[in-house]
Structure 1
């Protein structure tokens, strides 16, 4: 009835229910990631409910694997996420796919035997991924090559509901043109490429550094068509944009009788760039625009989803706190979605309820959510569940469906941190809470940087276990897959076991976010250390007994098995542990500097000596990061400039956007250093310059006895930032693309100096 050779699908029951194109995703991911085994799997579709699977050896065929799938499941997701990630390829094959690249091609041949059948099922219908701002902090300048790896990673980890924002502006522009807005009106509203998420949120309007070119808009639309097609091919349901209500200010002139209000100021931006104009949903123009937008979007991508992301009050309070007003906002917004798509489901972030606790009282939250009929017609992302959950204070969002999310990372900052106990017990407790309306588990980090991958893996894996995963056992298997060498030295396992109980066991909700190194912040005598919240600078563990010890264990492991030096993930971790060690040493030395400077008996030479240590640390950070391709500023800039179509001035515009987001985040440093990164070229070319200037200033005024002038320092840092943002890559001495130096030699030097 089927051949044991070849990738075949045996439709045991209800064969007609499987679409003709359902094999595309299976063939695609096999050809991309494990082409040598494309003939080793057989699939059988059986009657069942939910997302479930059974994996066993193929009868009568040595080296063959049979997968029994529930009829209820999407075929691509069944093969990819269930089979590869949660059973055969990881547990039996011992390989995995990482943000640093795929190791699936190392699956043994012939295929290892399963033995006792493997079974599994998801505990929630939705596995979610992305934050709206990830499309600025991480993926802003990606081409489809990078998207392809990430989408495979998502599929292999069971994600079936990803956010899909790329290309939004193209649809919006056509919709605005249709109602009579001119291109000049629209250009005055749209933001630059690196800042579009906050324009979509209604936080900012307009641009600095130049208006958004149509070339960018058109290129992003073409990219989105590729992304959405791949998501669908992989069995995912993309969450697509919708019309939120934010409009160019010219709309007030074009439609003077329309119900239009201005939003609040956001993060200190001048009124010309914020106070975004909002067309209220109960105005008849709102559903007209919504219907046009969704129709154009369906024409562009196909009728591929009924999930729509729509956030109207992200870090902006509503025009009125009256409960009937709030209910009218949501009821009319939802009515506009259903008029455009009768099956529409509204997806929104729950961040507003935490970010503005004073405004969003329980009564207002209930009225706002109550404006949407039927609990399953809305899906709320409880964005910061691991530290600041809102589902519990809102009585499970008053019955609306919601997703338990891990936020963890703000602005794409880079620092080792996590709370593994919370993210394995939190989802289970939330799901089992009496009356819970939780329907999903997901990731919502602001920036998807490469560190802390174990945190994100375990969140998505927990979506497939009805009980809390065993951390020690999970870490052991995870490390074995991450470093797939014969005879993995125990030291490698010991390093991660140590970190899992210390660095990744931070149970203080006030410091549960990626640790931001203070050398990324504008230098000052106060306000850098002991910061809690989104950008915590507190080290919650002893550096010597954790990070330093773990780094030494990795070095020991590489000495015992030199094959580890050829594993990209191992090399990355060597850099990551070393980077964190140096960042922590910088914090300690900075504390000594401040204490010495403030001492009335200290000398300028003592201040200068400690300043030299800080600069030495920064130079070693720069040298370390330059050895690994995942830590290069040049990659971020080249990713931006690759869209310039050979137009140098357009390339410079894109580069300015890329630089400004990392540094001033606004024309005059409105949210300065929010999206800072520890990248080679940024550390040595920007942070080091600022600290050199600051330290020279401290020595100078210590010598003369002048008073410390914080305003003068801030002005100097702003001037340095503005000058750096306007540069073009490669015009300064030492700015080169690509890696330089040997990671293991640099790590040896670091240990000799800073251990």
Structure 2
């Protein structure tokens, strides 16, 4: 392939994850050769440090996504174009080709890919498999098919990245690891608080806990709860743990009851949809909240009127704004429902909605 053909495939650095999933091409690119050289040197340095510290690095393997230019050059019949993703429907930016894993071409490219990786890094490999597809496409992944994947290599040569266990501890994937070790990855804002059950049999092949980037920096309590599990053998009392968390985070005990109300509201269920970012539609969406409004609003009140000046730490102020934002979102939902139930409320509801959004903006400006 020529450099021009490669450039038509490469996205900018911020979009590389989407390109590697076959969803996007060329957007924000191309990447100069110097960038690739620098990344290789950085990766070698990081990998060396990881191995010296006893860490196990994880490298990619061939995922069947190839450039459209490669298809144009060879016209392999086993290649299929990926589906359009999001709003990137233009021919120029979507989509890449997918090689049928049953085609000999898949193995041929896969070996070339692995040879390139191991020549620069490490040839001792353990297969890493994420189990999301077993749930998101469960109709295509019957139990016997999942079993054949999990038993294709000896025990210990495969590690499952389990992103589904938190949603349902009785999920069928929990019983289909067939002795393969797994790492529990938390990747949503809502957590099953009975996660400690996963450490007990029959889930005793767990070898680690992790948190995906989509949770980090936005849900501190959940992250601490998850990572503390690595140091505990039994599930602690959640109300007691929550009070200790509030004290550690703010350096005071004045918000312990407020956090109790949050546990009984936003940590138990979500709104079906955030109305302030919804597209206008007719008829209006039928939305509702899955937790009692009193709990959230009472948590907000206790954050706002906390009597202890010692709580006025940066962490407290950050969470005060977050709770305020969520409460104003809830108020927007109430206004929206009043509009949905009575057309005569349009002028008043519109005014209240605008006032609420301005109040939210003022709160966010305090950060």
* Superposition TM-score, scaled by structure 2 size: 0.85
Question: How far is 1:255 from its partner?
Answer: 5.1
Conserved 8 A contact 2:255-2:303? yes
Question: How far is 1:259 from its partner?
Answer: 8.0
Match of 1:616 in 2: 355
Q: Counterpart of 1:283 in 2: which secondary structure? A: helix
Q: Structure 1's 452 and 246: CA in aligned 2 closer, same or farther, altered over 3 A?
A: same
Match of 2:263 in 1: 500
Match of 2:140 in 1: 359
Question: How far is 1:292 from its partner?
Answer: 1.1
Distance in 2 of aligned mates of 1:528 and 1:247:
40
From 262, 275, 279, the counterpart of 1:518: 275
From 462, 486, 490, the counterpart of 2:229: 462
Distance in 2 of aligned mates of 1:221 and 1:590:
52
Are 1:288 and 2:109 an aligned pair?
Answer: no
Match of 1:261 in 2: 79
The structure number with the bigger radius of gyration is 1
Are 1:186 and 2:19 an aligned pair?
Answer: no
Conserved 8 A contact 2:82-2:98? no
Question: How far is 1:515 from its partner?
Answer: 7.1
Q: Structure 1's 479 and 596: CA in aligned 2 closer, same or farther, altered over 3 A?
A: same
Conserved 8 A contact 1:263-1:278? no
Distance in 2 of aligned mates of 1:222 and 1:617:
50
In the TM superposition, 1:104-183 aligns within 5 A as 181-183=1-3
Are 1:541 and 2:291 an aligned pair?
Answer: yes
Q: Structure 1's 546 and 380: CA in aligned 2 closer, same or farther, altered over 3 A?
A: same
Conserved 8 A contact 2:66-2:96? no
> What per-residue deviation string (whole Å, max 9, x for no partner) do you get for residues 714-746 of structure 1?
xxxxxxxxxxxxxxxxxxxxxxxxxxxxxxxxx
Conserved 8 A contact 1:353-1:390? no
From 41, 56, 66, the counterpart of 1:237: 56
Conserved 8 A contact 1:193-1:212? no
Q: Counterpart of 1:440 in 2: which secondary structure? A: strand
Distance in 1 of aligned mates of 2:187 and 2:60:
21
Q: Structure 1's 366 and 193: CA in aligned 2 closer, same or farther, altered over 3 A?
A: same
In the TM superposition, 1:719-734 aligns within 5 A as none
Are 1:249 and 2:68 an aligned pair?
Answer: yes
Question: How far is 1:398 from its partner?
Answer: 2.8
Asked which structure has the greater RCO (Cα within 8 Å, sep 6+), the reply is 1
Distance in 2 of aligned mates of 1:238 and 1:515:
39
Conserved 8 A contact 1:350-1:382? yes
Are 1:576 and 2:322 an aligned pair?
Answer: yes
* Superposition TM-score, scaled by structure 1 size: 0.44
In the TM superposition, 1:610-689 aligns within 5 A as 610-628=349-367
> What per-residue deviation string (whole Å, max 9, x for no partner) do you get for residues 602-629 of structure 1?
3xxx41221121111111111111110x
Match of 2:99 in 1: 278
Distance in 2 of aligned mates of 1:290 and 1:556:
59
> What per-residue deviation string (whole Å, max 9, x for no partner) do you get for residues 315-355 of structure 1?
xxxxxxxxxxxxxxxxxxxxxxxxxx2x2011121111111
Question: How far is 1:206 from its partner?
Answer: 1.0
Are 1:452 and 2:199 an aligned pair?
Answer: no
Root mean square deviation of aligned Cα: 3.1
Conserved 8 A contact 1:496-1:550? yes
Structure 1 stretches of 5 or more lacking a match? 1-180, 304-340, 410-417, 531-537, 629-755
Conserved 8 A contact 2:11-2:29? yes
Distance in 2 of aligned mates of 1:621 and 1:266:
35
Conserved 8 A contact 1:502-1:541? yes
Q: Counterpart of 1:291 in 2: which secondary structure? A: helix
Equivalenced residues, count: 360
